[in-house]
Amino acid sequence: MEQKTVREKVAQILTDIEKDDTYLQLALKKELDTLEVKDKGFANELIYGTIKWRLRLDYVLDQFSKTPVKKMKPFIRQLMRMSVYQILFLDKVPASAAINEAVKIMHKRKMSNLSGFVNGVLRNIDRNKSEITYPNLSVYYSIPEWIITRWMKYYGEMETKAICESLSQRARVCIRINNLKTTKDKVKALLSEEGITVLEEGFLPESLYIHAPNGIHHSPSFKAGLWTVQDESAMLVGHVLGPEKGDEILDVCSAPGGKTVHLAELMQNEGHIIGADVHEHKIELIEKNAKRLGASIVEGKLQDGMLINEDWKEKFDKILLDAPCSGLGIIKRKPDIRYAKDETAIRDINNIQRKLLKNAINYLKKDGILVYSTCTLTQEENQNMVEYALSLGLQLDAIPYDMPACLKPYIKDNAYIEILPHVTDTDGFFMARFRK
């Protein structure tokens, strides 16, 4: 039997993902493992790019095809999207290669009768691509209309454009140096020996931006727990909580433990941290992370943050509530998130956030500190949660960390901040600090 080419495999993966959203991670892992290393990068690029730019790709296809994208057969729809993605976005792939491959796949899949249609539409798009104009920001940035409408209302047009532009870029790869085991200088030297390029310093003392080739998780310095991958905004959450040696800390929504272990590093591994999560299989992830990084004060614990644990009442000096959220601040890393949520999902997730916050307050000692954070950009999940926390009797508390200059104008009441992705070229984040 003739082997499937990378493009044919990708079109099939995209078709499967469209049938079942939850398939994305699974499909990628299983199917990509069957590819040779040299093809994996290209396959990833095609899959993520086609998903990310879907709204724009569909708009362009609808301008040039008599059959609307919605009415195309699922496999052809994905093949067309994937091919237009190559034509519009991939400079290194000649459009003719993308088009010829698409036509070949049509013949191979016994759909020769439609190969003329595929060829004609794609060639026409290629010929006219510089003339295409887009009707609105939603289509141009491929971000659903309801999200753009919200952002325009809250941030105004200029800031919304800047947010969209930033979220459309490729995410930089930031690593956190593990001060429990090493120093930044030593890691820099090791990375260079391992062939990993260091690009630039971040604004935090523990952060470093690198060029990440495939498989950085196999590098000896990673395996030895000398560093971990974490967005720099996410690192700021730890500094806003400001843990101290000897603190008793609860991380209510801990998995996979990125911030939990960072707290242990900031505490020089002295004190105690419970890293809780509602999903049993994720507790293992927290523990595995803590073990690799040598954070021995971290204890993984299965606990639904919405249900009361009597043993924890007034027990903790500090609590981190890094709540499950709509994730709109991280769509450059997870391109499918933008389509997975809608207004109803925001309401539902906000109900959970409120329950988690209300419950967490029970666990805080008097005068204890609670930090609430999300990686999203919606008012309900961010600014309105500050009002809610105050209504529950918490008080705002001054952020103890000297924030980078570019972020200072965004700090409100000294106590909370929304990090817009374009300001720091990081993920979008929200963090608020309260005292009981």
Ligand X SMILES: C[S@@+](CC[C@H](N)C(=O)[O-])C[C@H]1O[C@@H](n2cnc3c(N)ncnc32)[C@H](O)[C@@H]1O
CA-to-CA distance for 387 and 392, rounded, in angstroms?
9
The catalytic position among 164, 174, 325, 375 is: 375
**Binding string, residues 187-226; x marks residues near ligand X by CB under 6 A:** ----------------------------------------
Collapse the DSSP code of 73 into the 3-class scheme (helix H, G, I; strand E, B; otherwise coil) and give the result.
coil
Looking at beta carbons only, is 127 or 279 nearer to ligand X? Answer: 279
Smaller CB distance to ligand X: residue 72 or 360?
360
Per-residue x/- track, 231-270, ligand X (CB under 6 A): ---x-----------------xxxxxxxx-----------
367: left (phi over 0), alpha (psi -120 to 50) or beta: left
CB of 285 to ligand X, least distance (A): 8
Label residues 8-33 b or e (16+ Cβ within 10 Å = b). Answer: bbbbbbbbbbbeeeeebeebbeebbe
Q: Which is nearer to ligand X, 98 or 204 (CB)?
A: 204
Q: Which of 324, 383, 401, 403 binds ligand X (CB under 6 A)?
A: 324
Find, among 351, 369, 350, the residue nearest to 360 by Cα: 369
Q: Which amino acid is at 155?
A: Y
Indicate whether 322 belongs to the interface with ligand X (CB under 6 A). Answer: yes
CB of 92 to ligand X, least distance (A): 34
The side-by-side arrangement of strands in the sheet containing 173-177 is: 197-201, 207-211, 173-177, 227-229
Give the span between the Cα atoms of 357 and 289, in whole angstroms: 25
Q: Does 382 bind ligand X (CB under 6 A)?
A: no
| Cβ–Cβ under 8 Å, residues 5 and 83 | no
Nearer to ligand X, 375 or 420 (CB): 375
Site for ligand X in 278-297 (CB under 6 A): 278-279, 282
- Cite the annotated binding site for S-adenosyl-L-methionine by residue number: 253-259, 277, 304, 322
Q: How far is the CB of 369 from ligand X (least distance, A)?
A: 17
Task: Select 226 or 255, whichever has its Cβ closest to ligand X.
Answer: 255
For residue 414, what are the contacts with CB-CB under 8 A and spacing of at least 6? 396, 398, 399
Smallest gap, in angstroms, from Cβ of residue 351 to ligand X?
11
Shortest distance (Å) from residue 289 CB to ligand X: 8
Query: How many residues belong to the site for ligand X (CB under 6 A)?
Result: 18
Whether the upstream peptide bond of residue 256 has omega within 30° of 0, thus cis, is yes
Could you give the CA distance from residue 399 to residue 415 in angstroms, rounded to a whole number?
5
CA 134 to chain centre: 26
Contact string (CB under 6 A) for ligand X, positions 292-321, x = contact: ------------xxx---------------
Could you confirm whether 375 is annotated as catalytic?
Answer: yes
Contact positions toward ligand X, by CB under 6 A? 234, 252-259, 277-279, 282, 304-306, 322, 324
**Would you name the residues annotated as active-site residues?**
375
